[in-house]
Structure 1
């Protein structure tokens, strides 16, 4: 240290070193508290495309295991792992945990979109936790998808007809049937299943190939990524 320049005492140095930690701890506490408040209410716990659902009411009241919750009576039959859920809590900054009576995680969720949380159970797959009202709005959207559709090119020429059904083909996917005389490209793809996934309509072939469509401003569904010769699905 150069002569004439005042030094810094050890207590002050320690205080400076600890300041960021203190601020981070305060921000951590504020963020987790805010998330706890936001989560209080009714949520739908489901498979990715809602073939199996369960209503969970998250409460702000404390319990010995964490925070209280209620599961609707049909939860255990729809999603057997929910039998182990006894409470909920927020872990870290952004993990919503549904936990057992010992405080151990049954499933952890993180937010992937506003109001939509995703959680993974090893050996089972991904589950969704979302606001109940929003989930029921999605269900209405799915019901509106059922029926006959036409695939057209950007010039408006129809190249294939197909029917979307609500008949389950595999977990979270539903049967789709092509009508006769489809364009060779569509016939070669030969979709057999469909689902709605985060605002997209997904068509899947028996080989596992997928085509994605997104709704545009004209209430049409355009294949993405877009191209100079777009493929559009229109409701019949």
Structure 2
């Protein structure tokens, strides 16, 4: 049995013109890659001053429970030359009511400056550049810090937090009311008809009286600090808090729960 073997023919050398074109193509490709890398590097290279300008605003420094707060104003104005954080990055001015904050947030007495950090973090610093607290960015205009042996603290940008909160137009429409999630007992319409400043007309169907009580059926609704308020003509209120599932539940909890969910 014979086996045929393929032998490649002799390699042909490139002519001068082809060689020049190949070299030019290689050089052009290398230049484009280098330019692309430099462009990407420049896009990610934000100066401390630019980062500070993006973060400078009014903030609320609070403890985890939110019952102790301190209003801070972070400025984009750099402190005098030579005043740097321990890592060498520039420090920026801030202002707050030191007397009021000292009673609410004990470590605020150590705060003298601030600096931006990678990942949009915010560093609160002592006058010598030492770290007081490092706040990492969370969601909805909130930054979080864990102080060893002290607890969790938050920096909240009210402007960003308010923008992220539920707005009345998010709730206009028909909703199911239930004692048990998924088992609606009646329906109500959260209308867009104004009743008074910041309140809108509420249209519950006849079965809702069994859940509210005939004499205490609410006729208006509004949002207050992120909660949904259902209110009667006499001013009696039911407060609903948003749940992670996307519906709303009456708060504080008791033995007569109520749940509101968008009607299908």
Structure 2-normalised TM-score? 0.47
In the TM superposition, what whole-angstrom CA distance separates every residue of 1:64-121 from its partner, at most 9, and x where no partner exists? 2400001223112211112211111111241111111222221111221131111221
> Which runs of 5 or more structure 1 residues have no equivalent in the other structure?
138-150, 158-198, 201-211, 224-230
Q: CA shift at 1:133, angstroms?
A: 5.5
In the alignment, which residue of structure 2 is the partner of 1:72?
Answer: 97
In the alignment, which residue of structure 2 is the partner of 1:48?
Answer: 64
The structure, 1 or 2, with the larger RCO (C-alpha pairs under 8 Å, 6+ apart) is 1
Residue 27, structure 1, aligned to residue 38, structure 2: no
Q: 3-state SS of the aligned residue for 1:83?
A: helix
In the alignment, which residue of structure 1 is the partner of 2:143?
Answer: 117
| Contact kept in structure 1, 2:119 and 2:136, CA below 8 Å | no
Q: 2:118 aligns with which of 84, 92, 95?
A: 92
Number of residue pairs matched?
160
> Which runs of 5 or more structure 2 residues have no equivalent in the other structure?
1-12, 85-90, 164-177, 187-225, 228-241, 252-256
The aligned runs of 1:175-186 (5 Å cut-off) are none
Q: 3-state SS of the aligned residue for 2:115?
A: strand
* Distance (whole Å) between structure 2 residues aligned to residue 13 and residue 133 of structure 1: 47
Higher Cα Rg, which structure = 2
Report the structure, 1 or 2, having the larger strand content. Answer: 1
In the alignment, which residue of structure 2 is the partner of 1:221?
Answer: 249
The aligned runs of 1:1-16 (5 Å cut-off) are 4=19, 6=22
Q: 1:152 aligns with which of 179, 187, 190?
A: 179
Question: Alpha carbons of 1:17 and 1:125: their partners in 2 closer, same or farther (altered >3 Å)?
Answer: farther
